[in-house]
């Protein structure tokens, strides 16, 4: 038995573009979430970052009024999570172009919603009361933004990869 080898090009993930896309998508989500809570749902615009801050500060913070520290911690954590999710999305879509980034981004946003609100609410039940159609919309917007911005910023780079295969004689 002999082996044959061939050289292929493999596209790399643009981690810089993914990081920036995560920040942009996180900002778009946060603005939409806060405006939606205030203007559509009728709650405090600070409720989402306050609840998110409780993930680090503990549930005792939820017994108090919304504070600057819970909001700041919540916003910082929100951006960390947004970047992590977008890094995952970038690893999925980096080999395609803008239309796939948009479509897969939307589907990814829906998947993040499902994971966040049907799994994590079991561990962090204080998020359940804000589980409504606005959450679905903002998660779709997050995925759309993350996929679109990543594809627009992505610098396509390739590396040579040698593939070895066994050949029958």
Q: What is the rounded average pLDDT for all residues in the chain? A: 92
Domain with 33, as residue range(s), is 7-157
Q: Please check whether residue 167 lies inside any domain of the structure.
A: no
**What H or E segment, with its residue span, contains residue 81?**
helix 68-93
Number of structural domains, the chain? 1
Site of tokens 């009728």: 42
Task: With respect to residue 17, please indicate whether it lies within any of the assigned structural domains.
Answer: yes
Whether 114 is covered by a domain: the verdict is: yes
Domain assignment present for residue 1? The answer is no
pLDDT at res. 17:
98
Q: What is the pLDDT of residues 37-65, one digit of tens each?
A: 999 999 999 999 999 999 999 999 999 89
| 30 vs 158, residue with greater confidence | 30
Distance between CA 130 and CA 50 in Å, rounded? 12
For residues 9 and 134, the answer to whether their CB atoms sit within 8 Å is: no
Which pair of tokens denotes residue 167? 């050949």
Mean pLDDT score, 57-81: 95
Q: Is the pLDDT of residue 1 over 70?
A: no
CA-atom Rg of the chain in angstroms:
20
pLDDT tens per residue across span 96-131: 999 999 999 999 999 999 998 888 888 998 888 888
Residue 98 falls inside a structural domain: yes
| pLDDT given for residue 73 in this prediction | 98
User: H helices then E strands: how many in the chain?
Assistant: 6, 2
The verdict on residue 62 lying in a domain is yes
Better pLDDT: 90 or 7? 90
Residue 20 has pLDDT above 80, yes or no: yes
Instruction: Report residue 167's pLDDT band, with 50, 70 and 90 as the boundaries.
Output: low
Look at residue 165 and tell me if it is in a domain.
Answer: no
φ/ψ bin of 51: left (φ > 0), alpha (ψ from -120 to 50), beta (otherwise): alpha
For residue 164, being part of any structural domain is answered with no
In this predicted structure, what is the pLDDT of residue 79? 98
Residue 168 pLDDT level (bands cut at 50, 70, 90): low
């Amino acid at each position: 038995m002999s082996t044959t080898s061939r050289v292929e090009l493999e596209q790399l993930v643009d981690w810089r573009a993914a990081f920036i896309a995560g920040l942009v998508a996180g900002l778009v989500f946060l603005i939409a979430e806060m405006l939606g809570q205030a203007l559509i749902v009728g709650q405090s615009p600070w409720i989402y970052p306050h609840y998110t801050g409780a993930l680090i500060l503990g549930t005792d913070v939820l017994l108090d009024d919304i504070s600057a520290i819970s909001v700041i911690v919540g916003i910082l954590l929100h951006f960390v999570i947004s970047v992590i999710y977008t890094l995952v999305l970038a690893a999925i879509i980096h080999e395609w172009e803008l239309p796939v980034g948009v479509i897969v981004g939307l589907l990814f946003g829906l998947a993040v919603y499902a994971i966040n609100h049907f799994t994590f609410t079991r561990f962090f039940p204080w998020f359940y009361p804000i589980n409504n159609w606005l959450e679905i919309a903002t998660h779709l917007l997050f995925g759309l933004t993350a996929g679109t911005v990543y594809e627009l910023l992505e610098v396509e780079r390739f590396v040579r990869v040698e593939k070895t295969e066994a050949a029958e004689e």
